[in-house]
A and B are shown apart, each in its own frame.
Chain A
Amino acid sequence: MNFPILSSLILLPSIGALFLLFTKSNKDNNITVKYVALFTSLVNFFLSIYLWILFDQSTSEFQFVEDRTWIEGLINYKVGIDGISILFIILTTFITPLCIISVNNSIKSRLREFLIAVLIMESFMIGVFCSLDLVVFYLFFEAGLIPMFLIIGIWGGTRRVYSAFKFFLFTLLGSVLMLVAIISIYWITGTTDVIQLYELGIDAKYQNLLWLAFFSSFAVKTPMWPVHTWLPDAHVEAPTAGSVLLAAILLKMAGYGFIRFSLGLFPIASEIFTPLIYTLSVIAIIFTSYIALMQEDMKKLIAYSSVAHMGFVTLGIFTIQQQGIEGSIIQMISHGLVSAALFLCVGVVYDRMHSRLINTYGGIVSIIPKYSILFMVFTLAALGLPGTSGFVGEFLILMAAFKDNFLVAVIASLGVIIGAAYMLWLYKRVVFGKLVNLELKEMVDLNKSELFILICLAIPTLFFGFYPDPLIKTIEVSINDLISVHNINIVRN
């Protein structure tokens, strides 16, 4: 491959953003600005689909590798993908255009700047998912925070500054440790190249500390219990499009990081710390599900449910089994689609009534039927009904966890019951029941763009629920390889 397709994927959104910077923005111009952004992100989406077509599923080797010297002898700009990364790239390029379409109603001021932030973030996210050098990864990983920080801090709600800082404080804390760990890896092995590190391996005596340093960063971003409290606040204050990006893509960086780096680089430590992850995951699943049950703010409820869902993801990854990791990746993709859709659903009613409180609503099913149907689809996907993508992931994860540890699987499965309770209760209180609040009568159903976005998200949610084979086939070989390498490492030590 001579054409640098990955670099193009990374750079294109930034070029679009640069373009926007020089576009004049005023009231009439908003449409142009939006079209430029949309066009850029769509080109990127099709490019990533093309990448998926070119992608060779039968090998676990990194493909489309680009390697350029950046700082002689120290850092190489190295990117490449395998089965694990490609789905996340497509998720990113798929969600971003939908986000851009959705800004119509929610972003009232400084649309141009907002879109620039979104596009730059897309660049960084894609960078995260295909970098093959620890330093490059770190840069993308941390840089991704900045646009998000701005999105919350500038376009957020009333407590936006508090939330933005909380978000930043939490995430920075872990990051610093990860940076230290990356530097130490360089001192220990003399390289930060991921492929080389995979081959070299890292001495067992260093692994525990390094693992913990990476963990502290990933745990915050996942987010795992007990460092999850920034997420509900961030979601509540963020504008709809921000919440969507945060939930759908940003949270996936950590899950990806766990698979790629924690498992890949530190197999022995991963094995040692599995009980820790299990405990935290199970606590996350149960505790946050209970908390979600009692929320009065729709966005907070969905945010807490995200924490529970990500609990399943971390649980699945550290089962270190085929079903578990495949389940985790499917769960992440599914959560990317479903949580994005749920936040958009909240956004739809928020734009109309300017309230996120559950008790504002009730009895709107006959007023906005299309919305109600789609909201139901995503509610069901969130509670993991068979036939939706949520089920496939959850079920595989639990199946793998059961093989490893009965107790963990039993407790985690309890979360599925509570999950049904809080999602259905939310839906009932918002959509069903008697119409008490008469202002709701004025609500209008989904407009064309909202309908389009939600249908775009509903189709893959259902399709992959019935036929997850394309996803599984893409990741299968890479994960198989990951696990066999892992097992070899364990045996060797």
Chain B
Amino acid sequence: MEISIIALPLIASIISGCFGKLIGDRSSEIVTSLLVTIAAILSAFVLYEVIFNDYQDNIVIATWINSGTLDVNWSMKIDSLSAIMLVVVTSVSSLVHIYSIGYMSHDPHKPRFMAYLSLFTFAMLMLVTSDNFIQLFFGWEGVGLCSYFLIGFWFKKETANAAAIKAFVVNRVGDFGFALGIFLIFYLFGTVNYSEVFELIPTVVDKNIVFLGIEVNAVDLICLLLFVGAMGKSAQILLHTWLPDAMEGPTPVSALIHAATMVTAGVFLVVRCSPIYEYSELALNIITIVGMSTAFFAATVALVQTDIKKIIAYSTCSQLGYMFFATGVGAYNVAMFHLFTHAFFKALLFLGSGSVIHAFKDEQNINNMGGVWKKLPYTYSLMIIGTLALTGFPFLSGFYSKDAIIEFAYLRGNTTGYYAAGIGIITAFLTSIYSWRLIFKTFHGEYNNKDIKIEETHESPLVMLIPLVLLSIGAIFAGYIFKELFVGYGGVNNFWKDSIFFLKPLSTEHPPIWFLVLTPILVILSIPIAYYLFVKNKNLPHQIANVNKPLYNFLLNKWYFDELYDLLIVNPSKKFGLFLWKFFDVKLIDGFGPDGISTLIKKFSLKANKFQSGYIYQYAFVMLIGFSALLTFLMIK
């Protein structure tokens, strides 16, 4: 049964991908959605078993690479952590499959699209159920590949293609670190299986190695290298540039891959490797810093963007930052909790925005929207639910998970912890502002679209709304229901057992009461503030922007990261390539090598030609000289 959870999406993908033309659009849509839904139901069973019957298993499917001491299997590890991921992935995936039936109804390549979605689901499941680092890497690159396919799904769009390649290559930069991490693990332990590696970690805690001329602690190095991979996949600052561009893909893709599942793989990796990270104070601190920087950075950029999907993309980036600094302060379970709730409300927001885009016939600029809340009542109310959950409005799911992160950061009791908590609160406020800005600009105020009449905007079909409703249920209740299970202030280890490792148990104290109410108050206050700024007094934001022009441009251009990378990496690479080719290969090697030799020979033979003049006396003269030279030589000897 467990294996079929992985196998069903793969089968769905093969059917739709290879025989899509044969069985028709509608059948491939039904087959893929159905099989993934079955996988979702089975995953729910597995989670049930894990929660109530302490079910754990490690199923070996087949050998993969068996070379010398390296022994890697295709396998399926089921424990609390992977069971949670199974449910998140398959449930969001099945809803996105169903939603896509409506969203892609005008697209000529439906079977291909569904095949990619299912293939992605398969790769993601391989990633989360792996029992070793190499299968993890397989899933890791596999989801990257599907993301590449799906971002570039509209292959005629130049920007989509560029975004797809960017996503893959930037991820490869992360994977470079990840792969080195795996090599190092293999170097130190001679194995890449989790259970063996985790057991051996305490033996190398004090071991230092010299890496590229720097002496570092082995565990620190492993953690940092793996984290580079996590940064790439989860779009953390420095390696985040691909995620906003990835919004070129169809919206269901953004919901599934770039919000709910794939981008959380980095968080999953860190949580999965908690037995390693717990031994590296340095790495944890760096993760905290990177996480909080990303959370803050992305939130500031989201404040000024005008593309509805890019705002949500930056919001995702920011929320991933939260998850990371949760792991950084050692609250792995809380990070998983936020990952879990975030999957629901962020998928809801993305699919909701897809519904808006659908209504406006592919318009994505929020300046060209507005005043349609009466025309799109369902989408509107669902988006409100998503926004409330995201901002952490009391008693919705984001409230529980995000506040828990801030609390645990505070309770960590060290400097980075306090900083993280502070940044977390500020970012929560910013999150609230930009989220409500999106809602108000999209649904309230005057109608601003010149191309489409307001009468032409229409609510989405049921097939799109039902998944939204289901997700909204998750967005409302997931936090409240699963709070005890994930965070369980009483006994953390009840549910997680040994899938998460805590070197020192999490603090069970509570932060002061003023701290606890601070975030919710800010979040609630931000609603009227945003309403005032973006509906009542619309000129004020413009004035603020005009007064602080440099700052505004800085944010609008996303802190100039893309320009910086073009300047520092992309363009020099091209020039370097050209130089190596035209100068090194053509001029130096060929010039002095074969071409040089052949011209030399040509010149030489031209000279030699002149000897053959045909005059006997010249030949005789040369012979004479030669003969006398030889004679002299022999005599001297």
Contacts and interface: CB of A to CB of B under 8 A. Distances in A.
B62 interface: yes
Interface residues of A, number: 59
Contacts of A424: 148, 164-165, 168-169
A386 B136 CA distance: 10
Interface in A417-435: 417-418, 420-421, 424-425, 428, 431-435
Given A287-B580, A386-B137, A472-B65, A417 B161 contact: no
Nearest to A406: B211
B67 interface: yes
B68 A322 contact: yes
A387 B212 CA distance: 31
Contact of A294 (B137, B182, B574): B574
Given A291-B585, A417-B172, A169 B187 contact: no
A66 interface: no
A34 B168 CA distance: 43
- Majority secondary structure, A binding face: helix
Contacts of B573: 290, 293, 418
A380 to B, nearest CB: 7
A406 B593 contact: no
Given A406-B211, A406-B212, A416 B179 contact: yes
Contact of B172 (A292, A416, A434, A466): A416
A472 B161 contact: no
Interface stretch (B1-9, B138-146, B383-391): B138-146
Given A402-B187, A413-B176, A396 B67 contact: yes
A166 interface: yes
Q: How large is the interface on B (under 10, 10 to 19, 20 to 34, 35 or more residues)?
A: 35 or more
Contacts of B590: 229
Given A226-B589, A402-B187, A424-B169, 18 more contacts: A166-B594, A227-B593, A290-B573, A291-B581, A294-B577, A295-B581, A380-B145, A396-B65, A399-B183, A409-B180, A413-B179, A416-B179, A417-B173, A420-B172, A421-B172, A424-B165, A433-B155, A472-B67
Contacts of A365: 155
Contacts of B182: 399
Nearest to B570: A421
B156 A433 contact: yes
Contacts, number: 145
A395 B62 CA distance: 19
Interface in B40-85: 62-70, 74
Interface in B579-602: 580-581, 584-586, 589-590, 593-594, 597-598
B197 to A, nearest CB: 14
Contact of B68 (A230, A323, A363): A323
B597 A386 contact: no
B158 interface: yes
Nearest to A472: B67
B532 interface: no
Contacts of B581: 291, 294-295
B578 interface: yes
A77 interface: no
Interface string B127-155: 00000001001100110010010001001
A387 B148 CA distance: 16
B574 A293 contact: yes
Interface of A: 165-166, 169-170, 226-227, 229-230, 287, 290-295, 321-323, 326-327, 363, 365, 380, 385-387, 391-392, 395-396, 398-399, 402-403, 406-407, 409-410, 413-414, 416-418, 420-421, 424-425, 428, 431-435, 466-469, 472, 476
B184 interface: yes
A326 B169 CA distance: 28
Contacts of B175: 416
A432 B152 contact: yes
Given A229-B589, A403-B187, A428-B161, A385 B594 contact: no
A466 B64 CA distance: 6
A1 B103 CA distance: 67
A410 B173 CA distance: 12
A287 B581 CA distance: 9
B203 to A, nearest CB: 18
Residue in A399, A413, A468 with the greatest tally of chain B CB atoms within 10 Å: A399
B253 to A, nearest CB: 17
A421 B167 CA distance: 11
Contacts of A399: 70, 182-183, 186
Contact of B184 (A322, A402, A414, A431): A402
Contacts of A387: 138, 142
Contacts of A295: 581
B576 interface: yes
B178 to A, nearest CB: 10
A410 B212 contact: yes
A396 B74 CA distance: 17
Given A229-B589, A387-B138, A398 B183 contact: yes
Contact of B70 (A323, A421, A433): A323
Given A169-B594, A416-B172, A417-B172, A321 B165 contact: no
B65 A392 contact: yes
Nearest to B182: A399
A414 B597 CA distance: 35
Given A287-B580, A290-B576, A420-B172, A433 B161 contact: yes
List the 4 shortest-distance A-B pairs measured between CB atoms, nearest first. Answer: A322-B68, A402-B183, A290-B577, A294-B577
Contact of B180 (A380, A391, A413, A418): A413
Nearest to A384: B141
A260 to B, nearest CB: 20
Contacts of A395: 65, 134, 179
29 contacts: A169-B594, A170-B594, A229-B589, A229-B590, A291-B577, A291-B581, A294-B581, A321-B68, A322-B67, A323-B70, A326-B67, A386-B138, A387-B138, A395-B179, A396-B67, A398-B179, A398-B183, A403-B186, A403-B187, A406-B212, A410-B212, A413-B176, A417-B173, A424-B169, A428-B164, A428-B165, A432-B152, A434-B156, A467-B62
